[in-house]
Structure 1
Amino acid sequence: MPLRRRKQWWGVTLDAPDGAALGRFYARLLDWQFFSSGDGRGGAVAPSENAGYNLGFQTEENYVRPVWPAEPGQPQMSMHLEIEVDDLDEAVAHAVEAGAALAAFQPQDDVRVMLDPAGHPFCLYLGESDESEQADVA
């Protein structure tokens, strides 16, 4: 894969019933490039070929969709992604248009828990505005 040309490289890989389809979802969501694994079973997304980091996706034949929030005896998420956004409503609309679903349970006012097409939770949260960042510097 072209993403491994740099000496410093890191990534996280998510399993899914269709790794390539989930990768294409995250490419739309993040406006990143999708790099196929070549076998049609997965791939990775990154902002560029030489970014040095990515999100990977692989097909897992025995994948079981996690339940969120967790319930006893049900498959649980093992991690979730955090994505900072400027406008929460706009980001939620974009995520839904890309193929995500808004989770039924929302524990915080300034965070939206979303579910990707394979059921992995990810959070959209409000970042600090430029004004508050400038005030912190002053």
Structure 2
Amino acid sequence: MARILAIDFGKVRTGLAITDELQIIASGLTTVNTKELIPFLKDYVAKENVELFVVGEPKQMDATASESEALIIPFLQKLTKAIPLIPVTRVDERFTSKMAFQTMIDGGLKKKQRKNKALVDEISATLILQSYLYSK
């Protein structure tokens, strides 16, 4: 089997998470400057066997698209053009940032560590990936 890579897309930073090859465990991979995201992903999939991209789909409480979706659509177009052989699926990402922050608290991270937005983005990507894995 191949890995699944999750993307928590952001205007400035993007959190990434990856499964193991058996697609059982979701783990944070890293946080990348969004401007460098496509080259990072191209390099990563050249080295690792990735079969699917799971991209967070931000929604409002009433299930309509969030304002962030306007930034994600052009990214998805670039992604599918740059890496056409790997399909993309979307997962509702409502509350992942809040859940990531709570995970940091529950994990005993100090206040200074919890202010690390890059870590929040990486944990959010992991939660998106776990959500996808549970739904499979």
Relative contact order (C-alpha < 8 Å, sep 6+): which is higher? 2
TM-score > 0.5 by shorter chain: no
TM-score (norm 1): 0.27
User: As a proportion of its length, which structure holds more strand?
Assistant: 1
TM-score (norm 2): 0.27
User: As a proportion of its length, which structure holds more helix?
Assistant: 2
Larger Rg: 1
